[in-house]
A and B are shown apart, each in its own frame.
Chain A
Amino acid sequence: MRAAIEASGTQMVTVALRRIDLEATGGPDILEFIDRERVQLLPNTSGAVDAEEAVRLARLARAAGLPDWVKLEVTPDPRYLLPDSVETLRAAEQLVADGFTVLPYIGADPVLAKRLEEVGCATVMPLGSWIGSNRGIRTRDGLQIIIESATVPVVVDAGLGAPSHAAEAMELGADAVLVNTAIAIAGDPVEMAAAFRLGVEAGRRARRARPAPERGSAEASSPLTGFLERLHSSQADPAVTSP
């Protein structure tokens, strides 16, 4: 994991909080593998099914000395793990009031994104597709509107299964992506982490380069008019004819 974090070039690593099995302890702790001098730790509220549970988890993490940055996720539905917009907004208001830096995981809903921004969230993190699905960006239109109107950074979170998906998010104008499953369960996580890094960089640079517009019909990339005439005249030109 340490090597994958390094290879990805990430600036932030999320961790979840889980009850310890007190009868089966031992072995290293994940925090031993994360160099907190180099990457920001981002505790999440995964497992929370309502605002109260999310707030409880965030407060626990802070009391234990974890950062007061929190990835807010409230996912009552275990099948698709889709975020509950109402509970997420409620929890966000509470956590902002408690002094947390709140990064909420949300559906690609531009109206909700605005509301979360207004209550003081540091980012919005709309999904590409379901958590762990590796389906890529299935929410393109919603993401575009969020990116267009947001005044906080937009992080595309969840569903990105390949570096090309990360590149697509960055080309759309996202500020960052959050990737876990695609790297964690790849055959070679370190190589996949490096590939995602390149995907993110490619997408970001493409965005900065201002992509050419799409067109509905062909547009020649080299001049076509007078092609034969020019060919003839150049052959007839004594300067370019062999003696």
Chain B
Amino acid sequence: MRIFANGSPYDVDAGATVTDFIRSRALDPRFVVVERNGEPLERERYDDVHLGEGDRLELVRAVAGG
């Protein structure tokens, strides 16, 4: 199954959750902010939301800055 994350295509297993994808990129879900298909995704739902074909994710994080 193919999704798009931060503009690039990624192949993920069918049934993969948002948490699975975050971990597959060597990221800690506690520190990742996710927008899915243009809508903010609550952190509590990362484990439960299964990715669908063609989903578009934006993965964002906090960085230093005033």
Contacts and interface: CB of A to CB of B under 8 A. Distances in A.
Contact of A22 (B6, B30, B43): B6
Contacts of A46: 65-66
Which residue of B5, B31, B41, B43 has the most chain A CB atoms within 10 A of its CB atom?
Answer: B31
A61 B33 contact: yes
Contact of B65 (A15, A63, A64, A66): A15
Contacts, number: 94
Interface in A1-60: 1, 14-22, 25-26, 29-32, 43-44, 46, 56, 59-60
A26 B61 CA distance: 12
Contacts of B30: 29, 31
Contact of B31 (A19, A21, A31, A179): A31
Nearest to A179: B66
B66 A180 contact: yes
B6 A64 contact: no
B42 A16 contact: no
Contact of B62 (A16, A63, A131, A179): A16
17 contacts: A1-B64, A20-B6, A22-B6, A22-B10, A25-B25, A29-B30, A30-B63, A31-B30, A31-B31, A60-B35, A63-B41, A64-B34, A64-B40, A64-B42, A64-B60, A157-B66, A180-B66
5 tightest A-B CB contacts, nearest first: A180-B66, A16-B65, A63-B40, A64-B33, A29-B31
Given A43-B62, A64-B34, A157-B66, 17 more contacts: A14-B66, A18-B63, A19-B6, A19-B58, A20-B32, A21-B6, A22-B25, A25-B26, A29-B30, A29-B61, A30-B61, A30-B64, A56-B35, A59-B40, A61-B33, A65-B43, A66-B33
